[in-house]
Amino acid sequence: MQVIETLAEGLKRELKVVIPAADMEARMNERLSEVKDRVRINGFRPGKVPPAHVKKMYGKSIMAELVNEIIQKQPTEILSGRGEKSATQPEIAMTEDEKEADKILNAQADFEFTLSYEVIPAIELKDVSGIKVVREVVEVPESEINEQIERIAESTRSYEEKQGKAANGDRVTMDYEGKVDGVPFEGGKDSNAELVLGSGRFIPGFEEQLVGLKAGDDKTITVNFPADYPAPNLAGKEATFDVSVKAVSSPDKLEINDELASKLGLESEAKLREIVRGQIEGQFGNVTRQKLKRQILDQMDELYAFEVPQGLVDAEFEQIWRQINMDLAQSGKTFEDEDTTEEKAREEYRKLAERRVKLGLVLSEIGEKAGVEVSEDEMNKALYAQISQFPGQEKEIIEYFRKTPGAIAGLRAPIFEEKVVDHLLNEISVTDKTVTKEELMADDEDGDKPAKSAKAAPKKKAAKAEASEEASAEASEEAAPKKKAPAKKKAADDKAE
């Protein structure tokens, strides 16, 4: 087998691989000798079929198998022998001429194919001892714990149906149907919907107009959807809701005690407080971690400069760009609405993709040199976390991961990255700083995001990789109590986070 390098420009490589016809025929004959005793051909006893006849019957099909095996296995072996790693799956090209292909399958012509790929660049690791970061730490105040417990208590609060008019704090059970210009709109209808007045869960002006109604009352409510409402067909429009009140219920006394804890399956109020404190500390800790990681990556970005494989950049950019366009479509906005153009946005997000790829390669090299590994137990926990998000579809999810190597790699990558960050935290200078909750939560990413789109919903989605987990988790948590069409505009803001 001959391997001839035909292109070496930057990270791009192209190799011509030639396997002589004689070698291909020798491999075919070897394979034929393995199967001749197993083939069954009418007129011949088992094992007595002449080799020439076996070759005539099965030669081309076996040669086709050999060709497939070669193009599946040889690229990896060739790159390994050259001491190279391909950034993406190498592109393989071979003859499309039927006559030439037929000659190859009959061992009358050399088997030739080309490999085109980009190599992972050699990265010389830098000294990171000069990196200095600040770890912001929040001491959880009792007031924060009390507020969280009060929200939990509200969610478990009992209501008793009453006679008389609805007041703030009462729960109204109702049917409603929304219309714009007299025409019902999708998602604007519900039956036996429950709403606690004063909760702020519906769009501004809706709940206030229910105050004073009683069971059996009908009323048409007029409201205006906020200009930034997530549904473009409703944003900024006046709507009417035909409301029929089915029942009005008043809440029982809000008490935080052992009885409340018991309702939640806990032994005491003290245990409830302990759990809530731990949850809040965990939430703050996640934000601290992401901001700390961002500082590290920002300084690593300045520390390293090298050419990155454009194939990886293309893939990363396409992922970002799909999300940007999805966000724009959902918000009903355009690039012009965000004070930019598609061309400028592409340029900025392309830079973001290059940064992500570069830092990913650097972290990978650091982790490899440091011997960072992801254990089977860690992978199983990550897989279980994915499966738990799709109740009832466990078998399908497991099968998907079993058949999709890229999906498994996607589970491993964030675990590996976090372990590399842990390694770096032992190598750099970390100073702890006590801050308030407001200081911790302050958005300090302005300098990291694509210019001109800093205020747009899409910019949040395409924020740097190190901040995405924190943002998406925050959004899903906040959006949880949303209702149907009249849901408060806050849903759109949360989604943007």
pLDDT value at 419 more than 90: yes
Q: pLDDT, tens digit, for every residue of 351-360?
A: 999 999 999 9
* Percentage, residues of the chain above pLDDT 70: 85
- By the 8 A CB rule, do 187 and 175 touch? no
pLDDT value at 469 more than 50: no
Average pLDDT taken over every residue of the chain: 85
Instruction: Classify residue 446 by its DSSP letter.
Output: G
List, as one string, the DSSP characters of 318-359. HHHHHHHHHHHHHHT--TGGGTS-HHHHHHHHHHHHHHHHHH
Question: Cα separation of 377 and 379, whole Å?
Answer: 5
Q: Which residues of 319-340 are buried (b: 16+ CB within 10 A; e: fewer)?
A: ebbeebeebbebbbbebeebeb
In this structure, the dihedral spanned by the alpha carbons of residues 136, 142, 148 and 150, taken in order and rounded to 10 degrees, is -170
- By the 8 A CB rule, do 416 and 405 touch? no
- By the 8 A CB rule, do 32 and 55 touch? yes
- By the 8 A CB rule, do 112 and 23 touch? no
CB-based burial label for 164 (10 Å; 0-12, 13-18, 19+): exposed
How big is the chain by its Cα radius of gyration, in Å? 32
pLDDT band at 478 (very low <50, low <70, confident <90, very high): very low
Which pLDDT score, from 0 to 100, does residue 13 have?
A: 96
Which is higher by pLDDT, 390 or 480?
390
pTM (2 decimals)?
0.70
pLDDT value at 464 more than 90: no
Select from 63, 55, 64 the least CA-distant residue to 36.
55
pLDDT value at 315 more than 80: yes
Amino acid at 47: G
pLDDT value at 225 more than 70: yes
Which pLDDT score, from 0 to 100, does residue 412 have?
A: 92
